[in-house]
Amino acid sequence: MRKIDPTKWNAVDGLGRSVEGYGQTGGTENKQDKLVGMFYWTWHDQAHKYNKPVNINSIMEKYPEIQNDFHNPIWDNYKGFNFWNEPLFGYYARTDKYVLRKHAEMLANAGIDFVLFDCTNGSFVWEDGYMTLLETWQEAKKQGVNVPKVAFMMQFIYCPDTLASLTKIYNQLYKPGLYRDLWFCLDGKPMVMAHSSGLDINDPFQKELKEFFTYRAGNPFYFEGDKDNSEWGWLHIYPQSAYYNKDGKVEMTTVGVAQNADYKEVRLCAMNGPANMGRSYTGQPDYSYTYEYRGENIKVDRNIDNSSCYGLNFQEQWDYAISLDPQIIFVTGWNEWNMGRFEEWAGIENAFPDQFNDEHSRDIEPVKGLLKDHYYYQLVNNVRRFKGSAKIDAQTSPKTIDITKGVDQWQDQAIISYDYYAKNTIARDTDGYIGYHYVTQVARNDIRTAKVAYDKENVYFYVETENNLSPVTDPNWMRLLIDTKPAGADTKDWEGFEYILNRVAPTDDMMLLEKSLGGWNWEEVGRVTYTVAGNVLQVAVPRCMLDLGDSVTFNFKWCDNNLSDGDILELYTDGSAAPGGRFTFAFTDKDA
């Protein structure tokens, strides 16, 4: 039976921060009730058909002087739908199944248990958006992805739109029983974050709505103190509100990437306000965190270069939230991206209320440009700190493999199977916003399982794909990345990997193993033997080539049809990678 537990994987992000594992976070045994939710946007599901994307971060880099000048004629050149920057997957439609499948895996790999859809504006519930997501995520679930459950966040007061919104989701989704296995439930009922005080229990239908859901009223305020759990927050300044249950325990609290709040006047503020609480803001003036990279203890505070990348605001809120020991932490957010531009809002001219640029934005989804995928692995790390991690399996028994013989020798029960999601490489041929069309072919080699064996002389690698492997002459064919040691002051690597196998096209029976000279520059270590049979590739690598010493401990990943020029973000967008993104399988022969 295929078992996929992302908490056993390792990762080092682009800033050199290692994701913690079992040794640092402890196990999951006493944390089974811990949940992490994520704010998620299915909205504007048709907006791409009628609008060009407008990249505000790029505009501000060119014309910083127009930030608070609503009538400046430069703005006339930028008519369309505002994005604070360009998402890694492009200016995608909210109904793009390729992207929705990627989100399912990324959120599952991060340990997110549920998402709340934003339906806080008017009576819009964005049916096309959320139904397309549910269809895609249910398919992913059937293929082994532990996808998040879903619920809805409604208006922050009870109003006629509340009844209209509840009626829509109840009639569209809940009453017909659609996608029941994806409903997020609380206290034994489907949960909705909405005010129910105005529902008339003397009206049979409204009584049915009242009794069907578990309600938590949405609290819109960032600046209040602790509350009882009749309400939930969604975003808060540090220190965040705690929402207590009747037993005096914290049911939930929030974590935000940034807040559209003014730190001088402590009030709501547009994201482009002069004293906005951006990604680098901290509530404690002297707050910092540290991590070790390349033999150096790096202190992250407001003075670090490119502070927007490091998530000081995010980390401070995570530290406080975890200290409360809540049942649930709710994170804002994943993929809002869009915002309006107003002549004036909350006292700010030319106001962008909810998002603005790299520093003044609150999305975690990877982005093109400066922030890349840094916030994603910071999310992963903190979810593990909160929920724990599984212990990495050790393969303590050596075994010699003859790669010229069949695959049955890999069926030994002592050999660990490193599984990844099968059939996850769907094609993309979809319009984004006006001027953008995205095409990605189905991955030619859909990687599903990897194995490792070793003896005194060699390390043996096995990789299995969903269908028969494509010809070895294909470009960027079936590469193996290996990380044998933590990055030190004098080590040379590419994105943490010292070795790459098969970067250069193989011969009929030999592959080239190379070692990084620093970055995407490689030198030959030697040639190794390989065999292909159907959907299985086997490779034998002499231990001396990997400089492993007595212990066989390393991180590794397989990838195909990507990394043409050393851009690691292609592991999300192109071809196949197992595991996804920067994650690696962790192999060790030592039972810690």
Place of tokens 């790669």: 403
For 346-368, the pLDDT digits (tens) are: 999 999 999 999 999 999 999 99
Residue 442 has pLDDT above 80, yes or no: no
Average pLDDT rounded to a whole number, residues 363-383: 99
Q: For domain 33-387, give its CATH number from 1.10.3470, 1.20.950, 3.20.20, 2.80.10.
A: 3.20.20
Higher pLDDT, 43 or 332: 332
For 302, the token pair is 């407001």
For 104-137, the pLDDT digits (tens) are: 999 999 999 999 999 999 999 999 999 999 999 9
Q: Angle of helix 97-110 relative to helix 127-142, nearest 10 degrees? A: 60
The pLDDT value recorded for residue 206 is: 98
Q: How confident is the model at residue 384 (pLDDT cuts 50, 70, 90)?
A: very high
Average pLDDT rounded to a whole number, residues 381-396: 98
Mean per-residue pLDDT of the chain = 97
First vs last C-alpha separation in the chain: 25
The pLDDT value recorded for residue 25 is: 97
Q: Residue 180 in contact with residue 115, Cβ under 8 Å?
A: no
**DSSP 8-state assignment for residue 411:** G
The domain segmentation of the chain, as residue ranges, is: 33-387, 407-587
Residue 229 has pLDDT above 70, yes or no: yes
Amino acid at 234: W
The pLDDT value recorded for residue 352 is: 98
Average pLDDT rounded to a whole number, residues 260-288: 97
For 48-85, the pLDDT digits (tens) are: 999 999 999 999 999 999 999 999 999 999 999 999 99
Non-local (6+) Cβ contacts of 408 within 8 A are none
Q: Please tell me the number of Cα atoms within 13 Å of 229 on its side-chain side.
A: 16
Q: Can you spell out the DSSP letters for 275-329?
A: TEE-TT--SSTT--EEEEETTEEEEESTTSTTGGGG-HHHHHHHHHHHHT--SEE
Residue 296 has pLDDT above 70, yes or no: yes
Q: How confident is the model at residue 1 (pLDDT cuts 50, 70, 90)?
A: low
Is the full-model pTM beyond 0.95?
Answer: yes
Report which of 246, 241, 283 is spatially closest to residue 263, judged by C-alpha positions: 283
Residue 540 has pLDDT above 70, yes or no: yes
Q: How confident is the model at residue 505 (pLDDT cuts 50, 70, 90)?
A: very high
For 449-471, the pLDDT digits (tens) are: 999 999 999 999 999 999 999 99
Alpha helices in 148-249 (DSSP H): 160-169, 204-212
For 230-259, the pLDDT digits (tens) are: 999 999 999 999 999 999 999 999 999 999
Q: Residue 413 in contact with residue 396, Cβ under 8 Å?
A: no
CA dist 278 and 291 (Å) reads 22
Higher pLDDT, 227 or 422: 227
Q: From residue 125, how far is each of 50, 117, 118, 177, 211 by CA, in Å?
A: 19, 8, 8, 17, 21
The pLDDT value recorded for residue 426 is: 82
CA dist 93 and 434 (Å) reads 10
Residue 330 has pLDDT above 90, yes or no: yes
For 23-53, the pLDDT digits (tens) are: 999 999 989 999 999 999 998 878 999 999 9
